[in-house]
Amino acid sequence: MTTTPRIAVVGAGPGGLTCARVLQRHGVAVTVHDADAGPDARDQGGTLDLHEDQGQLALREAGLLDAFHRLARPEGQEMRQLDAATGALGFHHVPAEGERFKPEIDRGQLRDLLLRALEPGTVRWGRTLRAVEGPDDGPRLLRFADGGTVEADLVIGADGAWSRVRRAVSPATPRYTGVSFLEASFHDVDRRHPEVAALVGGGSAAAADGERGLFAQRASGGHVRVYCVQRVRADWLAAAGLTAGDTDALRALLLDRYRDWSPGLRRLVGDNDGPYVDRPLYALPVPHTWEPSPTVTLLGDAAHLMPPLGVGVNLAMLDACELALALATHDTPADAVRAYEKTMLPRSAATQRLLDGRAVDLLSAEPHGPAAGDG
């Protein structure tokens, strides 16, 4: 850089934190703003498979690949496809000894790994962004819900599906895919739910009958998350007169909807610990592009939200790595953003087209390897 630009990242997820870490490794100052009250304010979600040529590549540039492999679970690469009616095992991938193409890691563990690697004070918590203001050529003004403001020469939107930064460059909003997840959690499965542990194995297991699906994934510490996949309207819970907190009523409804499934798979629907979590699936229009701005850019879901078919976090971290490297090696932020978007936008558009409308694949009864997941 010929000057010292003020760089503000919005969003302390894997993408935003990866970008900040790679920037700091190259001596570029950066601040991250996040709406959460703190790093432990909420559950960070399920497990991620980081691909060798995407997420792991970004961690190598962040100097964290060895630390990642110490935390990762190669056994999490196991995948099972089960018959909905009988529970019989069909497709089954067992990772080979030393296989490291896409080992699993808990989302919370990955976030903690990245947070610990940043300089103290890099992340400003409790900063809910309301708007990005100011002229296109800068400087930009970030206006927060608490009344505070921050001036920046470059704003990086890593703030996910409902990005506020996106509004500064694009009018696009996510659209409902027609498919929804209802998440159920199991704890201490090897002791309390041995049948569930045996069904899921060391990695993930999936089943579908064309109208309904289940995707179960083991995390660390004896936890399993199960996603009930349904083709329903986005507000199906409200239409049924329910909320996600109506655990008993929801359990009865799900057990009825999955009544023709095998008893073992129905355990994944009804034996869960605690409440369900409603997760309707959204995606951005295909392709999602915008007119270049020298002072605002996007990465991850803010740039190219897609159905959860194994690419989301990987692309976010790859975006973050490439953007940070561009900022470290170009004279101005504007030059860096142009170079980054020249590669990122065509790549994301191609992947968006590939996955457009594919959320329904999660309901397919055709034999295939399980595809769902955050990674």
Q: Pick from 287, 219, 290, 313: which is nearest to 11 by CA?
A: 313
In which residue are the tokens 């920037």 written?
23
Mark the ranges of the chain whose per-residue pLDDT is less than 70. Answer: 1-2, 366-375
Q: Where are the domains of the chain?
A: 7-76+100-173+284-359, 177-281
What pLDDT digit, counting tens, does each position of 315-371 carry? Answer: 999 999 999 999 999 999 999 999 999 999 999 999 999 999 888 888 987 654 444
Fold that domain 7-76+100-173+284-359 belongs to in CATH: FAD/NAD(P)-binding domain (3.50.50)
Per the DSSP assignment, residues forming a β-bridge with 80 are 92, 205
Distance CA 215, CA 332 (A): 45
In this structure, the number of other CB atoms found within 10 A of the CB of residue 120 comes to: 5
Per the DSSP assignment, residues forming a β-bridge with 10 are 33, 157
Q: Which residues are within 8 A (CB) of 153 and not within 5 positions of it... i.e. 6 or more apart?
A: 5, 6, 7, 138, 139, 140, 295, 333
Question: What DSSP designation does 119 have?
Answer: P
| pLDDT at site 42 | 78
Residue type for 174, please?
Answer: P
Distance CA 124, CA 60 (A): 25
| pLDDT at site 1 | 62
* Full-model pTM: 0.94
Q: CA 340, 72, 83: angle at the middle one, nearest 5?
A: 100
What pLDDT digit, counting tens, does each position of 9-38 carry? Answer: 999 999 999 999 999 999 999 999 999 998
Distance CA 195, CA 180 (A): 26
Q: Which residues are within 8 A (CB) of 249 and not within 5 positions of it... i.e. 6 or more apart?
A: 242
- CATH class given for the domain over 177-281: alpha beta
> Are 24 and 18 spatial neighbours (Cβ–Cβ below 8 Å)?
no
| pLDDT at site 368 | 47
| pLDDT at site 310 | 77
Longest alpha-carbon distance in the chain: 66
Q: Which residues are within 8 A (CB) of 233 and not within 5 positions of it... i.e. 6 or more apart?
A: 239
